[in-house]
Amino acid sequence: MSAPIPPDGGIFQVRVQAEPFDAAVESARLSTGRTDVGAVVTFTGLCRADAGAAPLTALVLEHYPGMAEEEMARLLAEARSRWPLQGAVIVHRHGRIVPGEPIVLVATASAHRGAAFAAAEFLMDWLKTNAPFWKKEERAAGDRGAPSAGGWVAAKSADDDAAARWTAPDDAR
Amino acid sequence: MRILYFAWLRERVGVAEESLDPPDTVVSVADLARWLAGRDEAHAAAFADPKVVRAALDRRHVKPDTPLDGAREVAFFPPMTGG
C-alpha cells in the first residue's frame, strides 16, 4: 500500500509492504533522469541477529494499516518543510522478517549533502517513535525468550531522546 | 465507535477490534480507557498501566486528555517500536 505525495518535480513516496525491497533501486529512482540532484542519502535498517541462549530467529512486525502510511506521509511532509529536498522515499516492511533482511528504508535527495543527511536522520528518528509499527521477537527456544511482555520489543528511551533532538512534531505522544 | 487494539494490547484484550457505544460520561480518550478497563478482566489487564498505552483518534496520535469529539475510530497501542 502506498500513499504518494503530490510531487513538485521529484519523487516523494511512502510505502508499507510485506515484500523485501532493493535499496539500490529505490535510491537510484531519486536521481534518474535529472541533473540537479547533488546528494542522495540512503539508510537501510536490517533485522539483526543476536547471540545468547535463545538466538533471534525472526522479527514479526505488526502495523496499523492506514495510519502507518498516513503518519509516514506526515513525517515526510514535515521533513520537506524543514529541508530543501528534491525527492524522498520511505519504505517500511511488515510481517515476518529474518536476520539479514531489510526492515526499513529512508532515501533522501537534495542539491547538497547537509540537507540529505539531516532529513534522512530526522525521518528515521521520528519513524521509530511515531510510525505505528510494533516488533515481536521470535526465538529459537520458543517465542517467549524476550525480556518484555510476550516477546514484544520494549520501546527504548534512547529512541525518544533521538526523536526529541528535533523537537516534538505536535507534542501529541 | 470502532475501537482497535495493537501488539500486546490486542493480545490482552483478546480481539483486534470491537464496536462499542460508550455512555455520555465518557468524554476524553482517558475516560474511554478507564471505561474499557472496567468491562472485564481482559480489558483491565490491557489497560493496567496507562503510562505505556498510546492512543490515536481517526488515525492521528493524541494525548489522553483529548476529547473523543465524535471520532469514528479510536486505537490503543503500546509505544511504537518500528524502524
In chain A, residues with a C-beta closer than 8 Å to the C-beta of B4 are: 64
Say yes or no: B77 contacts chain A, CB-CB below 8 A: yes
Considering only residues A4 and A136, tell me which one the structure prediction assigns the higher pLDDT.
A136
CB atoms B83 and A103 under 8 Å: yes
What average pLDDT does the segment A46-62 reach? 90
Domain of A13 in residue numbering reads as 2-164
Q: What pLDDT digit, counting tens, does each position of A105-126 carry?
A: 999 999 999 999 999 999 999 9
Is there a domain that residue A170 lies in? no
CB atoms A64 and B61 under 8 Å: no
Domain count for chain A, please give it: 1
- Residue A149's pLDDT band (cuts 50, 70, 90): low
Average pLDDT, chain A: 89
In CATH, what number does B2-77 get?
3.10.20.30
Say yes or no: B6 contacts chain A, CB-CB below 8 A: yes
Domain with A145 in it: what CATH number?
Answer: 3.90.1170.40
Q: What residue type is assigned to position A142 of the chain?
A: G
- Residue A163's pLDDT band (cuts 50, 70, 90): confident
> Which residue in the block uniquely carries the three cell numbers 495510519?
A67
Would the pLDDT of A7 be above 60?
A: no
Q: What pLDDT digit, counting tens, does each position of A61-77 carry?
A: 999 999 999 999 999 99
- Percent of chain A clearing pLDDT 70 (strictly above): 87
Is there a domain that residue A103 lies in? yes
A vs B: CB pairs below 8 A = 85
A128 near B83, Cβ under 8 Å? yes
The pLDDT value recorded for residue A173 is: 45
Q: Considering only CB atoms, which residues of chain A are within 8 Å of chain B?
A: 45, 61-64, 66-67, 70-71, 92, 103-104, 124, 127-136, 149-150, 152-155, 159, 170-173
* 3 state DSSP class of A29: helix
> Which residues in chain B come in under a pLDDT of 70?
none
Kindly state the cell numbers that stand for A155.
Answer: 520501546
The pLDDT value recorded for residue A3 is: 53
Say yes or no: B55 contacts chain A, CB-CB below 8 A: no
Would the pLDDT of A147 be above 90?
A: no
Would the pLDDT of A96 be above 80?
A: yes
How far is the C-alpha of A88 from the C-alpha of A75, rounded, in Å? Answer: 11
Q: What share of chain B is helix, strand, coil (3-state, %, to 5)?
A: 30, 25, 45
Would the pLDDT of A38 be above 60?
A: yes
Nearest to A67 among B11, B59, B81 (CB): B59
Would the pLDDT of A169 be above 80?
A: no
> Tell me, what's the ipTM?
0.96
- Percent of chain A clearing pLDDT 90 (strictly above): 73
In angstroms, the separation between the Cα of residue A95 and the nearest Cα of chain B is 12
